[in-house]
Copies of this chain bind each other. A is one copy, B any other.
Amino acid sequence: MSSPIRIAAIGLAHPHVFAMTQHLIDAGATLVAYEPESHVLGEAFGQVFDRAQARPERASILEDSSIDVVVGAGLPSERAALGVDVLRHGKDFVSDKPGFTDPESLADARRVSAETGRRFVVWFSERLDSRATVRADELTREGAIGRIVQTIGLGPHRLDAAQRPAWFFDRARAGGILTDLASHQMDQFLHFTGTVDADVRFARTANRGHPEHPELEDFGEAIVDGAGVSGYVRVDWFTPGGLGTWGDGRLLIIGTEGQIEVRKNVDLAGREGAEHLFLVDGTETRHVDCRSHRLPFAARLLADVAQRTETAITQEHCFRASELALRAQAAADALGPTPT
Residues of chain A touching chain B, judged by Cβ–Cβ distance below 8 Å, are: 145-147, 149-150, 152, 154, 156, 201-202, 204, 206, 208-209, 218-219, 221, 223, 225, 228, 230, 232, 234, 236, 238, 240-244, 248, 252, 254-259, 261, 266-271, 278, 280-287, 338-340
Known: A219-B230, A240-B257. 9 other contacts (CB 8 A): A149-B208, A150-B219, A154-B252, A206-B230, A230-B338, A238-B254, A238-B255, A240-B259, A242-B284
Q: How far is the CA of A308 from the CA of B57 in the complex (A)?
A: 80
Question: Complex formed: what's the CA distance from A285 to B268 in Å?
Answer: 7
The interface residues of chain B lying within 8 Å CB-to-CB of A154 are 152, 252
Give the distance in Å from the alpha carbon of A240 to the alpha carbon of B254 in the complex: 9
Report chain B residues within 8 Å CB of A236.
Answer: 149-150, 254
What are 21 A-B pairs at a CB distance below 8 A?
A: A149-B209, A150-B208, A150-B236, A152-B154, A152-B234, A204-B230, A209-B256, A219-B230, A221-B232, A223-B223, A225-B338, A228-B340, A232-B234, A240-B257, A241-B281, A241-B283, A242-B283, A242-B284, A242-B285, A244-B285, A270-B271
Partner of A268, one of B147, B248, B278: B278
Instruction: State the CA gap A287–B269 with chains docked (Å).
Output: 6
Residues of B within 8 A of A146 (CB): 209
Q: Which of B209, B240, B248, B261 contacts A147 (CB 8 A)?
A: B209
From B150, B209, B282, contact of A242 by CB (8 A): B282
Q: Which residue of B243, B254, B340 contacts A280 across the interface (Cβ within 8 Å)?
A: B243
Pairs A-B, 10 closest by C-beta atoms: A269-B287, A202-B202, A209-B256, A228-B340, A268-B278, A242-B284, A241-B282, A149-B208, A240-B258, A242-B283
- In the complex formed, the residue of B with least CB distance to A268 is B278
Complex Cα distance A109/B271, Å? 50
How far, in Å, is A151 (CB) from chain B's closest CB?
A: 11
In the assembled complex, the CB of A258 is this many whole angstroms from the nearest CB of chain B, namely 5
For A287, give its contact among B238, B268, B339 (CB under 8 Å).
B268
Given known pairs A202-B202, A208-B256, A281-B240, the reply for A221 and B223 (CB within 8 Å) is yes
Q: Is the CB of A280 within 8 A of B209?
A: no
In contact, A256 and B238 (Cβ under 8 angstroms): yes
Residues of B within 8 A of A281 (CB): 240-242
